[in-house]
Structures are given as C-alpha cells and as structure tokens.
Amino acid sequence: MSEAVRIPRLGMTATEATLLEWAVPDGSAVAAGDVIAVVETDKVETELESPAAGTLVLKAAPGAVVPVGEIIAEVVQ
C-alpha cells in the first residue's frame, strides 16, 4: 500500500509549482507530518509534509515544474 505525494493547490491562480528540493533522500524512512520537500509557485514557497509513515520513493527531480495535482513521490507502507 502507498500514499501519493502530490503538488497541492497553493493559491487561487496557481496551476503549477517548481520542486525546489527534497528534504530527505530517496528510500528514506519518513513519519506522517515530516517535511519531505520544498516547492514554490510564483507567489509562495512552502514545505510539503509526508501524508503517511513509510519509505519515500521519489518520482520527480529538483527543478522540475510540476502541474497542481501531479504525483511527485509515494510513501510506501
């Protein structure tokens, strides 16, 4: 079982975000609520938290411009 990590809607007009960095490396154990990434839109920079406990599997590289709702990682339980 896994939980998807998606780019959230970070404003009324935001349609995409840039993945600035991963806070933890691929394959790391994470707990629900751990900060795992930093993303940025044209108006805001924010930290993303893990939706569940498990092993983080990255699906996008830093610098990628990703549409809102797109999966950028999974947390495998």
Domain ranges of the chain: 2-76
Q: With bands split at pLDDT 50, 70 and 90, how would you rate the model's confidence at 58? A: very high
In the block, residue with structure tokens 């610098």: 63
Angle of CA points 28, 33, 38, to nearest 5°: 70
**Rounded distance between C-alpha atoms, residue 18 and residue 14, angstroms:** 11
We find that the CATH architecture of domain 2-76 is Beta Barrel (2.40)
pTM: 0.93
- Backbone dihedral region of 3: left (phi > 0), alpha (psi from -120 to 50 degrees) or beta? beta
pLDDT tens-digit readout, 6-47: 999 988 888 999 999 999 999 999 999 999 999 999 889 999
- pLDDT above 70 coverage of the chain, percent: 100
